[in-house]
A and B are shown apart, each in its own frame.
Chain A
Amino acid sequence: MKRFPVSFASLLVIALIVAGCKSSSDNSSASNADNASDGKQLRIAVIPKGTSHEFWRSVHFGAEKAAQEIGNVEIVWRGPVEESDTGSQIEVVKDMITMGVDGIALAPNQKGGLVDAVEESIGEGIPVVIFDSGLDEGPEIVSYVATDNFKGGQMAGDAMAKAIGEKGNVILLRYLAGSESTEQRENGYLDALKKYPDITVVSSDQYAGGNATSAKEKVDQLLQLHGETLSGIFAVCEPNANGTLEAIKNAGMAGKIKFIAFDPSDALIQAMKDGHCHGIVLQDPVQMGYQSVITLVDSLNGKSAEAFQSTGEYLATPENMDEEKYQKLLQPETL
């Protein structure tokens, strides 16, 4: 019981700090607006879904490139370690608001979970650009900068049709339920295949899960089931595709089954050289980081932007993969 007073006193101190917030926090948001207009150094927070994936390091590279080009812009790069950690990402957004950055570029982990954090940011006078993956309707964001994933999926569908001679049985291997970007790809793929009456989608309801191991297991099972009559598999993202590739190789069907992937990896590039992979749909992460920062700075200077900006989607095939343009997209620069 003796302990009570000191601890209690310190809690009181903390409570007082919190209590004093009303007036001064209003000041801080007002000063944000000032910073934007008077040409001082701008600070732009770029928040990826996670920090451990190559893709995001390319986004970081693009963001820094934009910052250098504009000059007077500092990039604050911060994200959760795990891509599934929505709570941490919300904390990062709130911390960036506290830091009083001039703008936030965010790749939301979940389309619904980040809505209120983004609304809070806009409420404090900090504009937000969303990149890579969509956000639920609601907050008035500056722009959404991303790959047109539906179109990317359609390109994968057309590439598949071409690879198997426009007829045969194919599989769509899904990623995770609730992931906006991959759902778009899946829908695009199925949409494109409707044009080809001789192509049958024998399986399109299997979710491969978040990593290569779970994807490999799934494909092992699917090959058991459909292997004899199968012509092609489409894997909608990188971890998915790596697992699929392993499973196809294990079954001794590499090259026989046509394989289309989305997003590159070293293993997939090698597979394309070996003739085990027949097409990779590519995004442009460098452009994504670049475009997001440019759009934010433009909006701080009073220019408005398109609601959706596509950063382009490309198809690498064994024929064109050695061209410089595709080499750059297959192995984008990172920071």
Chain B
Amino acid sequence: MTENQTRRNKLHWLTSFRHGPTLALLAIIALFALLDWQFGSGRFFSPRNARVIVNSAALIAVPALGMTMIIIAGGIDLSAGTALTLSGTALAIAFRDYTIPADQAGAATWIAAALALGLGVGILCGLINGLIISLTEMVPFIVTLGTMTIFLGLGQVIADESTVYPESGHLPDWLRYLCYTGSNSDHYWLGFLHIPSSALIAIVLGLLVAAVMHFTVFGRNVVAIGSNASTARLCGIRVGWTTALVYALAGVFVAVGALLYFANVKNGNPSDGTGKELEIIAAVVLGGGSLSGGRGSVLGTIIGALIIKTISSGCTMLSIPNTYTHIIIGVIIIIAVLIDGLRNGAPKWLFDRLR
């Protein structure tokens, strides 16, 4: 313990990385604003672009909130992407076959039923993951690798291996404009403040998760399980039960993420989800989440999602080709994890030498 303490003191400057993700985001915004002002259109640092970025970040951040809980609990969910599009496809089918035009009387009931269906599918996906993991005690990575393709397959079965287009007249206006980023005040929830509804949802859910993690016994238990499952068990925490609950809860966020995805693209395509899980996990990791469990923060995750989308938007503004955008994001993820390691005394050889 004391050895650890001196190590910390020697590398005192590293503690400033505690606010790493936030500082990184500000630095990235400043960098792109400067470059864009010099070489680009000068529109990067504009309110409109902020709206576009927070909207696309919300699409990642919402499912990433669930992923944050899972990762804090020491797990991982590779099926988040395909579970999201499975739920989105179910929504699309509901809005194609089982609803009536939104302006007709009684439409609200059908719409509520459709939303409940989407939510149910998401929760069910999470619950399946959680039950398999806690009952069989298999590694979450493998279990969710399996369910990832299962959910993809299920999605393709219900969608008949194609894309599901809902009846556009059946969509209520509030749903249509969830991801609206234009300048018409009528399409925002807060007419005086142009924040995309998707971002508002992400903020509210983020506050909820933060509250749960900080102030409830459940939240504390999740952290305990992620730090050391055996110790947690010895302390009398019902590890299996809590794990299953974490995955089921994450399913809620996947389902809300699916709603946003559906509102954004206005159709359901089950194969859209492949690859999304990596973006979601990247947001958590960029935000300081540790894949070995026990650590992660809600605000960090939201900032992680903002970092990813800020980079991709900035690259577009500067006409940097897509391919380089992918490389830049990859490099930044690795640097973020490296810095995170430095905070915690890794790599060992470097710290041994400094001592």
Binding site for B on A (CB under 8 A): 1-4, 6-8, 10-11, 13-15, 17-22, 24-26, 28-29, 51, 76, 78, 80-81, 84-87, 90-92, 94-95, 97-100, 110-113, 115-116, 120, 123-124, 136, 176-178, 207, 209
Contacts and interface: CB of A to CB of B under 8 A. Distances in A.
25 contacts: A1-B214, A3-B299, A6-B19, A7-B19, A7-B21, A7-B303, A10-B303, A18-B51, A18-B199, A19-B193, A22-B194, A25-B46, A28-B48, A84-B272, A98-B49, A98-B317, A99-B317, A110-B163, A112-B165, A112-B166, A113-B267, A115-B168, A123-B184, A178-B163, A209-B161
Interface string B235-265: 0000000000000000000000000010011
B50 A14 contact: yes
A8 B303 CA distance: 10
A7 B299 contact: yes
A251 to B, nearest CB: 25
B43 interface: yes
B214 A178 contact: no
Contacts of A18: 47, 50-51, 54, 193-195, 199
**Nearest 4 interchain pairs by C-beta:** A21-B47, A177-B162, A120-B182, A7-B299
A19 B195 contact: yes
Given A26-B183, A78-B316, A112 B267 contact: yes
Given A110-B265, A116-B266, 19 more contacts: A7-B21, A15-B195, A18-B195, A20-B47, A24-B47, A25-B183, A28-B48, A29-B183, A81-B323, A91-B56, A91-B316, A92-B316, A97-B182, A115-B266, A120-B181, A124-B182, A176-B162, A177-B162, A178-B165
A51 B48 contact: no
B107 interface: no
Contact of A7 (B22, B41, B52): B22
B183 A85 contact: no
B300 interface: yes
Contact of B50 (A21, A22, A81, A91): A21
Given A7-B299, A136-B168, A95 B313 contact: yes
Interface in B160-216: 160-163, 165-166, 168, 176-177, 180-185, 192-195, 199, 214
